[in-house]
Structure 1
Amino acid sequence: MLRPLHLVLIALLLVLQGQLWFGRGSIPDVMRLRQTLKDQKQQNVAAQLANDRLGAELHDLKDGLEMVEERARSEIGMVKPNEVFVQIAK
């Protein structure tokens, strides 16, 4: 015959197994969360690449105009409005 202690232990075992397979933090729940984390990491990498690309484009726009202006000044003598061009002969 089963003693009350045996029944309590069996019930406890069933509750623990139920938590393992169906409860919060269960194996399927952990697998789903891992997949969600993996997907989020991939989205973060894609967003970081887009941010880097935009940052490089912004840098090129800021510095690119300065480089073009500097080259135009040195090679073709560009002068902006309201500027005075002074050339020193050596």
Structure 2
Amino acid sequence: MKWVTWVLVLALGWFQYSLWLSKGGWRDMWQLEQQVAQQQETNHGLQMRNHALAAEVADLASGEAAIAEIARVDLGYVQNGEIYYRFIDLNTH
């Protein structure tokens, strides 16, 4: 009867090892859950960036005000009748 007990204890130990430590066990599952959480954070940031870009594209497609704003900021565009002031910080030069 003692050998049957030992066989059952060894079988139980083997099954516990398979459950907790082997490939596809709980440890792997926890690592995969962490990877999924990191990827979801990355995806959220990318979705926010995509929404901002889509809004900018919609502004550019729908009106001239957005185009004029970009021309002013990026290219220094000044319309007729406007006065352009440039402020120079003397501490940086």
Pairwise same-fold verdict (TM > 0.5) = yes
Deviation per CA, 1:42-87: give whole Å up to 9, x if none.
011011101101100100000023998xxxxxxxxxxxxxxxxxxx
In the alignment of these two chains, the number of paired residues is: 67
Match for residue 39 of structure 1?
38
Residue 51 to residue 67, structure 1, CA distance change in 2 (3 Å):
closer
TM-score by structure 2 length? 0.61
Q: How far is the alpha carbon of 1:25 from its aligned partner?
A: 3.1
The structure that has the greater radius of gyration is 1
Output the CA distance in 2 between the equivalents of 1:44 and 1:64.
30
Residue 63 of structure 2 aligns to a residue in which SS? helix
User: Which stretches of structure 1, 4 residues or more, deviate above 4 A after TM superposition?
Assistant: none
Match for residue 2 of structure 1?
2
Output the CA distance in 1 between the equivalents of 2:59 and 2:65.
10
Question: Where does the alignment leave 5 or more consecutive residues of structure 2 unmatched?
Answer: 68-93
Output the CA distance in 1 between the equivalents of 2:65 and 2:13.
73
Output the CA distance in 2 between the equivalents of 1:50 and 1:15.
49
Output the CA distance in 1 between the equivalents of 2:38 and 2:18.
26
C-alpha RMSD of matched pairs (Å): 2.3
